[in-house]
């Protein structure tokens, strides 16, 4: 069973490593305003943009998707900090450290948010925040066959317990990681001759390779190794290769006001019960292994929900990315087919009874029939907007808004946008402004408005939240 899980986990890690790779150059291009990096990433610029852009990596603790929800220690910290600033979080993924550093140096990313050891070389390139985690580096090695029946002394005697015993071994570590110079220094300090192999393979993948016997040794941060030990009981992580070290986030050199705000926030937040809860949740939670092994974790089973196959089937019928449709269904029902809202909307797609009847279903419908009816409704809305909003990608926002509030209220918002000189075929900062204003008497009493009052904030947030979750799904889940 253990070997099957290890093989499954390693295969998925390898797949996601290939799929995710370096994404920041597509998401966070520099502004075309002639400003240098220093001026682009000040706190004032972040607040003016209304967006905090960050880069992290994809693993069982930093960032992943579980049961349709993005999660992770660094992801949660970023979300809380973005909320503190009152801005939106735009998160990207990079699986290679050299490219992660390029995300900060060459592109529009404001923060590298992952476990970065503060080294002299890195400090010449970046400014580091106040430490977030204290850890040390440990050797990861496989326990011998029959270890369960050994005494503690027998087990310890069969393993490497000191860097002085590294002679002749080969240690695999991630390229450009802090493990490389540490091992090089250790080799010089001890006079021990051992091999260091740098690879693009990530830290957790290397641990899994040790567990399945593909390589013999790697080095990991202790807190990451401790989490992985809950998955792989056949690994040993007790041999230290460093003193305790601080891990932190990095920002652009010279982004002093952003760094100061980050540090002030971190120093306060780290003293709170919420920070302690987050740390325990991801690094000390005995149920974390169950979460990671779950088929509904994008690291373990690679699924968003129990209905992925149905969602993929019906998404093709409306020419949607299935991950967008999944995000809509999560927003509506959290993938619960039997839920009914206070207003009477029911099922996975939360169709109102009258709308459901128009598309041939009632509350006895199966999940397949529910999704099919919802997609027929989406297809109807797409046709209604096709002439008004020619761009198919832009039209998705109008469809989502109408799915939530009804077609009439979105048409009212379009008419208001036209009256006030905005682009009627652009959602963000144009038509969405007026969907928000439809709760204001000045606007819902306007003669061009035919459908009256609407809780526009709900529709506005509906579109925004689905799109944000869709970005997370794209980060973590393959399109096909």
Q: Is the pLDDT of residue 285 over 90?
A: no
Angstrom distance (rounded) from CA 221 to CA 459:
44
Q: Mean pLDDT, to the nearest integer, of 19-46? A: 56
CATH for 2-133+247-293?
A: 3.40.190.10
Residue 188 burial (C-beta neighbours within 10 Å; 0-12, 13-18, 19+) = exposed
Pairing of strands 170-174, 111-117: unpaired
Ranges of each domain in the chain: 2-133+247-293, 137-243, 308-476
Angstrom distance (rounded) from CA 8 to CA 2:
10
Q: Is the pLDDT of residue 30 over 50?
A: no
pLDDT band at 69 (very low <50, low <70, confident <90, very high): confident
Q: Which residues are catalytic?
A: 332
Q: Is the pLDDT of residue 67 over 80?
A: no
CATH for 137-243?
A: 3.40.190.10
pLDDT band at 210 (very low <50, low <70, confident <90, very high): very high
Q: Is the pLDDT of residue 15 over 50?
A: no
pLDDT band at 291 (very low <50, low <70, confident <90, very high): low
Domain 308-476, CATH among 1.10.530.10, 1.10.10.10, 2.40.40.20, 3.90.1150.10: 1.10.530.10
pLDDT score of 40: 58
pLDDT score of 298: 64
What are the pLDDT digits (tens) for 144-160? 999 999 999 999 999 99
Angstrom distance (rounded) from CA 89 to CA 449:
34
What are the pLDDT digits (tens) for 86-104? 999 999 888 788 888 988 8
pLDDT band at 234 (very low <50, low <70, confident <90, very high): very high
Q: Is the pLDDT of residue 394 over 50?
A: yes
pLDDT band at 137 (very low <50, low <70, confident <90, very high): very high
What are the pLDDT digits (tens) for 306-346? 999 999 999 999 999 999 999 999 999 999 999 998 778 99
The pTM (predicted TM-score) of the whole model is 0.68
pLDDT score of 12: 40
pLDDT score of 350: 95
What are the pLDDT digits (tens) for 113-128? 999 998 888 999 999 9
What are the pLDDT digits (tens) for 238-279? 999 999 999 999 999 989 999 999 999 999 999 999 999 999
As given in the structure block, the two tokens for residue 354 are 């009258």
pLDDT score of 34: 44
Q: Is the pLDDT of residue 129 over 70?
A: yes
**When comparing pLDDT for 446 and 60, which is higher?**
446
Among 305, 308, 310, CA closest to 368: 310
pLDDT score of 402: 96
- The pLDDT > 90 percentage for the chain reads 70
Among 319, 331, 328, CA closest to 393: 319
Q: Mean pLDDT, to the nearest integer, of 12-23? A: 39
Q: 84: left (phi > 0), else alpha (psi -120 to 50), else beta? A: alpha
Angstrom distance (rounded) from CA 387 to CA 204:
50
Among 11, 284, 242, CA closest to 135: 242
pLDDT band at 105 (very low <50, low <70, confident <90, very high): confident
Q: Is the pLDDT of residue 286 over 60?
A: yes
- The pLDDT > 70 percentage for the chain reads 88
Tell me if domain 2-133+247-293 and domain 308-476 are identical in fold: no
pLDDT score of 288: 58
Residue 455 burial (C-beta neighbours within 10 Å; 0-12, 13-18, 19+) = middle
Q: What does pLDDT average to over the chain?
A: 88
Cβ neighbors of 345 (< 8 A, separation 6 or more) are 332, 351, 352
One-character DSSP codes across 126-160: EEEPSP-EEE-EEEEEEPPTTGGGS-HHHHHHTS-
């Amino acid at each position: 069973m253990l070997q099957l899980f290890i093989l499954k986990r390693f295969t998925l890690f390898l797949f996601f490593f290939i799929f995710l790779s370096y994404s920041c150059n597509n998401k966070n291009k520099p502004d075309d305003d002639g400003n240098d990096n220093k001026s682009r990433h000040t706190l004032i610029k972040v607040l003016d943009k209304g967006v905090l852009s960050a880069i992290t990596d994809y693993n069982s603790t930093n960032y992943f998707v579980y049961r349709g929800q993005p999660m992770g220690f660094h992801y949660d910290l970023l979300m809380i900090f973005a909320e503190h600033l009152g801005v939106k979080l735009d998160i990207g993924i990079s699986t290679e450290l050299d490219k992660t550093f390029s995300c900060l140096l060459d592109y529009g990313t404001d923060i590298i948010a992952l476990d970065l050891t503060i080294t002299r070389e890195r400090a010449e390139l970046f400014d580091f925040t106040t430490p977030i985690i204290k850890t040390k580096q440990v050797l990861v090695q496989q326990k011998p066959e029959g270890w369960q029946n050994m005494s503690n002394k027998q087990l310890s005697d069969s393993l490497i317990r000191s860097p002085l015993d590294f002679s002749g071994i080969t240690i695999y570590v991630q390229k450009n990681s802090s493990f490389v110079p540490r091992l090089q220094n250790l080799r010089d300090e001890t006079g021990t001759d051992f091999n260091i192999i740098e690879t693009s393979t990530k830290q957790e993948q290397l641990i899994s390779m040790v567990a399945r016997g593909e390589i013999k040794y790697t080095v990991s941060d202790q807190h990451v190794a401790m989490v992985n030990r809950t998955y792989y009981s056949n690994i040993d992580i007790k041999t230290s290769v460093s003193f305790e070290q601080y891990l932190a986030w990095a920002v652009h050199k010279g982004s002093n006001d952003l760094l100061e705000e980050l540090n002030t926030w971190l120093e306060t937040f780290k003293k709170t019960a919420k920070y302690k809860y987050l740390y325990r949740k991801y690094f000390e939670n005995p149920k974390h292994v169950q979460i990671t092994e779950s088929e509904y974790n994008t690291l373990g089973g690679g699924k968003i929900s129990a209905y992925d196959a149905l969602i993929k089937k019906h998404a093709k019928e409306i020419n949607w990315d299935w991950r967008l449709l999944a995000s809509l269904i999560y927003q509506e029902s959290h993938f619960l087919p039997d839920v009914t809202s206070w207003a009477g909307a029911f099922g996975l797609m939360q169709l109102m009874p009258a709308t459901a009847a128009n598309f041939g279903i009632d509350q006895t419908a199966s999940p397949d029939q529910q999704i099919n009816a919802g997609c027929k409704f989406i297809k109807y809305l797409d046709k209604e907007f096709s002439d008004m909003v020619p761009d198919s990608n832009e039209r998705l926002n109008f469809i989502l808004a109408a799915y939530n509030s009804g077609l009439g209220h979105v048409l009212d918002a379009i008419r208001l946008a036209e009256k006030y000189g905005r682009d009627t075929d652009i959602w963000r900062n144009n038509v969405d402004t007026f969907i928000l204003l439809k709760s204001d008497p000045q606007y819902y009493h306007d003669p061009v408005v035919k459908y009256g009052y609407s809780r526009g904030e709900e529709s506005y947030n509906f579109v925004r939240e689905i799109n944000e979750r869709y970005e997370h799904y794209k980060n973590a889940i393959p399109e096909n």
